[in-house]
Each structure stands twice: as C-alpha cells, then as structure tokens.
Amino acid sequence: MAFVTKTFYSQDDLQSHLKAHHPSFYFSSKTSTVIPYDKIESLLSWERSEDFYLCDLSKLPPHLELKANGNLVLSGAVSWEEAKVFLRAKGRTLKTSPTEQLALITAGIATSCTGERCFAFGNLRSQVVRLRYLDHQGEERELRREDAFESSSPALKAYQEDFKFYEKFKNAPYPRFDRAIDLMIGTEGQLGLVTEVEIETALHEAVTYVFLLLPQWEDEITPHLEIFNAVQAHRSSIISCELLDSNCMGYLKPDERLGSGQDVIFLEILSADFEMIYGDVLGHLKTVSPENVFEIAESKFHRIRAGVPRAIFEENSKMGVVKIGTDVQVSGDRFPELMKFYREASKIGVRYCLFGHFGDAHLHYNYMPKKEESARCLEELQRLYDEVLGWRGSPFAEHGIGLLKQKYIKKFHGPHQRALFQDLKQEHDPLNQFFPQGFMSTKP
C-alpha cells in the first residue's frame, strides 16, 4: 500500500480515474482548516493493500460565465477572488464572501462554506441554483434546486424532520437533504465530485464600511449584545456584521491595528441606506458613543479581516501545533450563554483570540497554545461541544468536519442521521471510493 498524489488537468482524466474506482481523497487549494495537509497521510490511516490516491483538482481548467439573469456559472479551478474580479467588471458581486478568497468555489460548495456576507444574503447553500457532478462511475449528472431530494432510504423523512430546527442556521450539524442539489452540498465529496455550479449573484452597489470600538468582551459584554440585537432587523441593508477582539489586533501590522486594547465590530452597509442605519441603529446605541464609530476603507477592512486568521494559521504552524479553534453557531437567545462560556475559557491561562461573524451568533474562538498546553485546550473544546449539544446549536457552521472534527460531531448524529448516511453511501458510493474516512463513511 502507498499514498499516491495525482494532479488532474482535465475532466476526462478525472473521469478515467473515477471509473477505476480507486479509494481517493480530493482537494484543491489546501485552504481547509479541518484538513491538516502536512499530516494528512497519518490521519487518513489507510491500512488496506490497495493504493490510496490524494487527488489535486487545482489544475482543472477554469471557466466563468455570467447569464442574462445575473447567475454565475463556473467550472474547474475558480477561486472566490477570481469570481469576484470577474463579476465586478460586469457590475455584479458575490453574495457570499469567505475570508480566504484564494479557496476554490467548487470545494466551498462541497463544504457549504459560508462567510461574512451571510448576514444579509444567507448561506451559500441557499444561493446554488444548479450543479453538475461526477458520480462513482465517472458519469456527469445534473441537479437542480427546484427538484426535491430523492432517496429510497426509510430514514429520509425522519432526517428531514430533525433538520427543520436548524433551517435558520448557516449550517446544521448535518447536511440538509431537502432539495436535489443538497446531495453535493456539505457532503465533503463523499458522494461525488462537483464539476460545475450555477449560483446567484447580486447587483454591485456602493458599500460603506464602519467600525465601532468597544470595551473588551472579557470585561463587559453589554455593548456587544446591544449591537447584536440592534442589527437583526436590518439584514437587507447591513450586509455583514463582524467582530475582531482586542487580542486579534496583536496579529496585525502596527499601522493596521484599530483602537487601543479595544474590541472592534465592523458593519458593511449599503451606502444608499447608511443614513437610515445611522439614524435607526448607530445613533440610538446607549452603550456605544458616536465618537467610537468610524468609517474605514473597503481595502483596509478586507486586509484586516483576512489578516487575522492567516496570522493565526502561520503562528500555529511555527509552534508546531494543529489549530485549536471553534466554529460554533447558536440561536440568538443562546448567544449570551456562548459568550459566557468563552469568557470562562479565556481564564485557563492559554493565549486566545475571538473573531468572526458576530451578527449571526457565529464566532471563532482560537486558542494559541504551546505544545504542552494543547491537551488542556482540547479538554475545553470537548466541554464546549457538550454545552452546544444541550443548546441545540451547530458545532461547525462554516468550515466543515474533514478529519479534525469527526470525534466531536458524533454526538450530534443520531440514529436517523447515521442510517441515512449509510444508505446514501451505498446508493451513491457503493465501493466507498470517495473520501472513505469522511464523517458519512464507515472507516476501513
């Protein structure tokens, strides 16, 4: 047995590979935070006699097309940044904006990647109109949003009933299987490979970026919660609502740090609605002074917002530790409890920072441990996920499960979920050739 890395330069080559039924893991830009690529061979734990293939899809020829109705059709290795530039030239914009713009969109579909702009536009799953994928025989098939999800599994109806509680979440603890397109969204390449997608876009409109300086959340959470509650009724005008806490600023260049030992909440507001938002929201805050509200350039906002997670990844790599961070989303009424938990977690004596999609009650709490502190941090993560289970929150609302989070997700999958996963794998991947170690599979 050996691990074999194979790069694909055409869809024909990819189809030939699928027809050979080799057990394989497929990847593209290596930006996933739940797949440690430098340790992937040891974590895949392949013990069979046949070779296991690590399949690089980043060289597939890209294609972009804007339809008359404003939908974007793309195939191959197209990044979010490339799609953004393409649309901007045509007066359109993406509805979803992940922090890592170099990631490939087809991979984002597979993990149901979401990001900052979900506050106004909803998650990526809701924006997919149509997609094509390669099945286990290498045949290309098409799925459409208007068609219902089909499966002969007796567990499907109960599974769908369970999912209803999570309909307003960015992502549930398990994939939505309601529309036909859901077969490929959030299933992490375990049932087939996405080759082409058609997604909704929005008209490009002028946007104003502002930031608010707040006390450190560890000391005072009232201003944060006032903003959280105030913005909820204005989702059509406030495109994103993001948090970077005071600890995040230390990972930025000195000239890009905001405030002095303060947290920052960013708002991305349609310029046409800015006066209304200032009058109805920003001007009426009781715990935030107007002197602590500032405008910021779009380019600087994106540099700062993307710079923090990149710096965290780089520092963890230098420290020789795997990222230990959360991806939890809870309902609005549970948000104070989540923040209380993070406050307690901040007191264990390990460096940390908190950032993310504040308006959606979806934050990333990242420990920055030394190697000898990692075990303690992992204990805290387990304690958090136990709480999230009780809160009926989603433990991983953005970046997927991959390899690193499988041990935590098991408690969130009951008999209905496990039964449907087994039936879908048998129906769509009978030889278990797609990511055999994924969360839907029985590990070899």
**pLDDT (tens digit, 9 = 90+) per residue, 4-49?**
999 999 999 999 999 999 999 999 988 888 888 888 888 888 878 8
Cα 217 from Cα 97, distance rounded (Å) = 26
For residue 109, the model assigns a pLDDT of 94
- Per-residue pLDDT for 228 more than 80? yes
Cα 213 from Cα 268, distance rounded (Å) = 15
91: which 2 tokens?
Answer: 């007066």
Helix (DSSP H) and strand (DSSP E) numbers for the chain: 13, 18
Cβ neighbours of residue 359 under 8 Å, at least 6 residues apart?
Answer: 119, 228, 231, 232, 238, 240, 241, 242
| For range 254-272, the mean pLDDT | 95
Domain annotation for the chain: domains and CATH numbers: 3-56 (no CATH), 63-203 (3.30.465.10), 207-391 (3.40.462.10)
- Per-residue pLDDT for 444 more than 60? no
Confidence of residue 317 (pLDDT cuts 50, 70, 90): confident
Confidence of residue 110 (pLDDT cuts 50, 70, 90): very high
pLDDT (tens digit, 9 = 90+) per residue, 379-428?
999 999 999 999 999 999 998 999 989 999 999 999 999 999 999 999 99
Nearest CA to 55 out of 88, 22, 80, 32 is that of 22
- Which DSSP letter does residue 360 get? G
Nearest CA to 309 out of 326, 296, 293 is that of 326
Cα 60 from Cα 193, distance rounded (Å) = 13
- Per-residue pLDDT for 443 more than 60? no
- Which DSSP letter does residue 246 get? T
Question: What pTM does this model have?
Answer: 0.93
Handedness of CA 220, 222, 223, 225 (dihedral sign): positive
Confidence of residue 203 (pLDDT cuts 50, 70, 90): very high
| For range 321-331, the mean pLDDT | 87
Cα 335 from Cα 358, distance rounded (Å) = 10
For residue 371, the model assigns a pLDDT of 86
Longest dimension (CA), the chain: 67
Q: Rounded mean pLDDT of the chain?
A: 94
- Per-residue pLDDT for 442 more than 80? no
The proportion of the chain whose per-residue pLDDT surpasses 90, expressed as a percent, equals 83
